[in-house]
Each structure stands twice: as structure tokens, then as C-alpha cells.
């Protein structure tokens, strides 16, 4: 019986992943803010289920306090975001460690299921407030806090990476719609309704 080839040919060519924002003009300039897509990340959904989760994973502390984030290296480093009891999203450098040393956890690679955006500038919070019901002021939404909410009716996970740096994690299928909505927001601060004159 002939021996199988040492390096059998692949059954099909695996296409390289393409960003859902391919073709969008980047970066997008908003009033007092700049919108960009973050590259070079791997995104992992971590679920402990009924198990006791470790204190750390992939070099990050897994936050136990609701809506908090562990990002020891600041906006340029990795982050562990609290999603719920026993659940986290890890945003890791593609060249850094991976969370593959925790057999008691359920780990799902969501790198190509979510898109990471970053809004930077003094007007970042103001721009987001145009489509979000949360109070995103610095006094309420502090650095290294996160929140799951609707932004222009699109589910997102927000992370206050710094006072004027907000990261947005959105499902791949909604990424382009969210980008185009944010990139084309009107520069005005709203419409003032004039009182209706009474007649008769």
C-alpha cells in the first residue's frame, strides 16, 4: 500500500480574511474626533460557565466588578472587558500571548466575527452621545469602564480607553452600517423645536 504524501495538497485555498470596512475611506474625520479601525488584534470571548475562573488569563486580570476593564498598558495595550458574571472579551495583540492555557474555560475566537473601531479626540464622547442613551461624560463613564448598549440602534460594546479615546466593538455584519452612520453625522448639535403659534 503506498504511503501518503508527507505534505498533502490542501483541498481548497483558504482566502485571507477581509475587513468589513474594506473600501471605506479611512480615517473618518468627525467634529473634534477621528474614527479609525483597529488592526492587529485577536478577540476572544471567554466564558467560565459554572466553573471557577482563574484570576488572570493571557497576562490580564479578569475583572470581577461589572463594567470594568483591565488594560494595564493603556490604550495601546491588550484589554480584558467584563461582559457579565463569568464572561469577558479579551482584546489581545495578534503577536502576543493567546488564552489557550485554561481548559476549564470556554474560549471562542471572535477575531473575524467582530470589528474593533476607535474614536479619538476631544469630541469623541459628544459624537457618541448623539446616538446613545447612556451618560458618556467623563464623570460617569470613566477610564477603563465598559458598557454594552445601542449606538444608533446597533448593539456595541464601548470601552473608555482614555478620557478622549473610546473603543467600539461591533458585530462584523453591523460594522459598515455603524461606520457610515458615525462618519456622516451632522456637525450640528441638534434641532431646536420652535413653539407652535396658536390660531383662533
Specify the CATH number for the domain of residue 50: 3.30.1360.120
For 52, the grid coordinates are 471557577
Quick one: cell of 72? 494595564
Cβ atoms within 10 Å, residue 152? 15
Residue 19 lies in a domain: no
Taking only Cα atoms into account, the Rg of the chain, rounded to an integer number of angstroms, comes to 21
Q: Is 45 part of any domain? A: yes
H-only helix segments in 66-162:
124-129
How is residue 73 written as a grid cell? 498598558
User: For residue 13, what pLDDT is reported?
Assistant: 63
> What is the reported pLDDT for 185?
75
Number of structural domains (the chain) is: 1
Assigned domain for 124 exists:
yes
Closest residue by Cα to residue 141 from 125, 121, 120: 125
Beta strand 56-57 with 60-61 is antiparallel
Is 52 a domain residue? yes
In this prediction, residue 111 carries a pLDDT of: 93
pLDDT, residue 10, reads 57
Q: Which residue is it, cell 449606538?
A: 151
pLDDT at 103: 85
pLDDT truncated to tens, each residue of the chain (200 aa)?
Answer: 555 555 655 555 656 678 899 888 789 999 899 999 999 999 999 999 988 899 999 999 999 999 999 999 999 999 999 999 999 999 999 998 888 778 889 999 999 999 999 999 999 999 999 999 999 999 999 999 999 999 999 999 999 999 999 999 999 999 999 999 999 877 544 433 334 444 44
For residue 101, being part of any structural domain is answered with yes
**For residue 125, what are the domain limits?**
28-183
pTM: 0.85
Task: Identify whether 98 is part of a domain.
Answer: yes
Give the per-residue pLDDT at 18.
83
Grid cell at residue 178: 455603524
pLDDT score of 60: 96
Amino acid at each position: 500500500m503506498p504511503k501518503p504524501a508527507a505534505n498533502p495538497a490542501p483541498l481548497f485555498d483558504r482566502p485571507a480574511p477581509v475587513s468589513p470596512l474594506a473600501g471605506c475611506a479611512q480615517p473618518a474625520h468627525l467634529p473634534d474626533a477621528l474614527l479609525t479601525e483597529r488592526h492587529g488584534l485577536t478577540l476572544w470571548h471567554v466564558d467560565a460557565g459554572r466553573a471557577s475562573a482563574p484570576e488572570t488569563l493571557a497576562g490580564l486580570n479578569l475583572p470581577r466588578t461589572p463594567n470594568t476593564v483591565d488594560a494595564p498598558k493603556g490604550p495601546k495595550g491588550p484589554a480584558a472587558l467584563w461582559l457579565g458574571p463569568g464572561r469577558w472579551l479579551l482584546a489581545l495583540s495578534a503577536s502576543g500571548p493567546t488564552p489557550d492555557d485554561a481548559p476549564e474555560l470556554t474560549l471562542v475566537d471572535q477575531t473575524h466575527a467582530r470589528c474593533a473601531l476607535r474614536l479619538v479626540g476631544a469630541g469623541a464622547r459628544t459624537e457618541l452621545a448623539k446616538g446613545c442613551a447612556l451618560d458618556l461624560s467623563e464623570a460617569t463613564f470613566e477610564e477603563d469602564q465598559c458598557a454594552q448598549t445601542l449606538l444608533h440602534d446597533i448593539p456595541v460594546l464601548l470601552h473608555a480607553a482614555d478620557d478622549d479615546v473610546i473603543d467600539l466593538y461591533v458585530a462584523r455584519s453591523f460594522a459598515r452600517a455603524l461606520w457610515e452612520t458615525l462618519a456622516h453625522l451632522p456637525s450640528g448639535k441638534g434641532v431646536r423645536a420652535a413653539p407652535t403659534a396658536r390660531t383662533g
